[in-house]
Amino acid sequence: MAVKQLRWLAAGVVSGLVVSTAHAAAAEPDPRRTELLAGVCFSCHGTDGRHGGDFEPLAGRSYEALQDTLLAFRADTVPGATVMPRLVKGLDEDEIRALARYFSSLEASSAEVSR
């Protein structure tokens, strides 16, 4: 994997944990990008993938499980799937990995920090 991508993914993880200090230098890819990409998922799986009616939280699942499931949706090999294949086809594989890393790096149930 290219160094650039690794930095990206690391930045994505950081942005999920300490949002306010993740001000990378201007030349770095925007660390908020993975978090914003994950925002696409929040509308159905809850903020940070932690609340989604009776969906199991995405937050805190293993990286492999998330990646494999998302790639399977993209390949249309999940029987009975409804909307996920249509959505995941709008993402590339690097983005899918970044999302898997993002959600796996979060704790399943911690409430958002009160400010």
Tell me if 78 contacts other proteins by CB under 8 A: no
- # residues contacting ligand HEC (CB under 6 A): 16
- # residues contacting other proteins (CB under 8 A): 35
Between the CA of residue 2 and those of 18, 25, 76, 86, 92, what are the distances in Å? 25, 19, 28, 28, 15
- Using CB under 8 A, pick the residue from 89, 93, 107, 110 that binds other proteins: 89
Q: Which parts of 4-63 interact with other proteins (CB under 8 A)?
A: 19-20, 23, 26, 30, 32-33, 36-37, 39-40, 42-47, 51-55
Query: Residue 69, Cβ neighbours under 10 Å: how many?
Result: 18
Q: Which parts of 2-61 interact with ligand HEC (CB under 6 A)?
A: 40-41, 43-45, 56, 58
Closest distance between other proteins and the C-beta of residue 33, in Å? 5
Position 17, amino acid: L
Query: Residue 71, Cβ neighbours under 10 Å: how many?
Result: 15
Contact residues toward ligand HEC (CB under 6 A) are: 40-41, 43-45, 56, 58, 66, 69-70, 81-84, 87, 99
